[in-house]
Structure 1
Amino acid sequence: MIRPARPPTPERSPGGHPARPRVLVADDDVDIRDLVQFKLQQAGYDVVCVGDGLEAWDVFVSDPPAAMVLDVMMPGLSGIDVLLKIREHSTVHMPVLMLSARARDVDVDAGFAVGADDYVVKPFSPRELVHRVNGILGRPRR
């Protein structure tokens, strides 16, 4: 079992208030990464972006976020491969939203079958994506 360096828990700011939840966004398309980062930051999240599945896995192991948004088709490891590794090796539940251009029922079913908490198809509504991230983290909608 691989255990993340620390469990993904809400950190505290110096004043003792909960810090902004950190979301890892992994997508090889820089335009998608930038859009998702911008919208999630607007919604009150701290966002870390990476361009491939290997980087996503490294971040998960070394400094796990509160949630992850994973593109299905990425170099290195696919989003599905990253999610499989997380579900097979982690002792904590990591909320994961799959983001993909693969829109066939079989693709969406495959994402949920390996443990995705949600699946959003590209092209997507940025506002809906924020609502879905709120949902997997159990945060109220704004």
Structure 2
Amino acid sequence: MCAFRSGEKPRVLVADDEKTIADTLKLILTGAGYDVRVVYNGIAAVEKAVEWSPDLLLSDVYMPGLSGIDAAIQVCEHLPHCRVLLISGQADLQELRREIQSKCRRFDVFPKPVHPTELLERMQAMLSQADGQP
């Protein structure tokens, strides 16, 4: 597994307004060796990211207040190194991808529910990419 700070586990910030999903993701990711923090809305995601500097933001797309897309954009403005993986229960992921591209961003989107093995594989691949890669 890739660690960006010598001797430290990769940091993952989970943002989901469904507490059960967020807390379950924390258990899965912690068990896989990640240092994980959880927040339950987009505004808190931006605040925690600026304070904690995660390597990856794993966020639900649709949250009240600030969407996961807009939170991710703000996080990346503060932390250009931070990778973003969005999850959504929306059936039409193509439309969601178009919305993300219209905001000039390339964020991966996985459907909910996401299988833990697929999620962990994608996260590891993202964290293994050299800085500056999409």
TM-score by length of 1: 0.78
Describe how 1:1-142 pairs up with structure 2 within 5 A: 10-12=4-6, 18-87=7-76, 89-90=77-78, 92-104=80-92, 105-114=94-103, 115-138=105-128
Native 8 Å contact 1:27 1:51 kept in 2: yes
Q: Which amino acid aligns with 1:10?
A: F
Distance in 2 separating the partners of 1:91 and 1:31? 27
User: Any gaps of 5 or more consecutive residues in structure 2?
Assistant: 130-134
CA 1:109 to 1:58, structure 2 compared with 1: closer, same or farther past 3 Å? same
Root-mean-square deviation over aligned CA pairs: 2.0
Distance in 2 separating the partners of 1:64 and 1:136? 16
CA 1:91 to 1:73, structure 2 compared with 1: closer, same or farther past 3 Å? closer
Rg larger in structure = 1
Render the CA deviation track for 1:91-127: whole Å, top value 9, x for unaligned: 6231000011123111133235542432111122111
User: Any gaps of 5 or more consecutive residues in structure 1?
Assistant: 1-8, 13-17
Which structure 1 residue ranges, 4+ long, deviate > 6 Å from structure 2?
Answer: none
TM-score by length of 2: 0.82
Q: Which stretch has the larger CA shift, 43-52 or 113-122?
A: 113-122
Aligned residues: 125
CA 1:116 to 1:56, structure 2 compared with 1: closer, same or farther past 3 Å? farther
User: Structure 1 or 2: larger helix share?
Assistant: 2
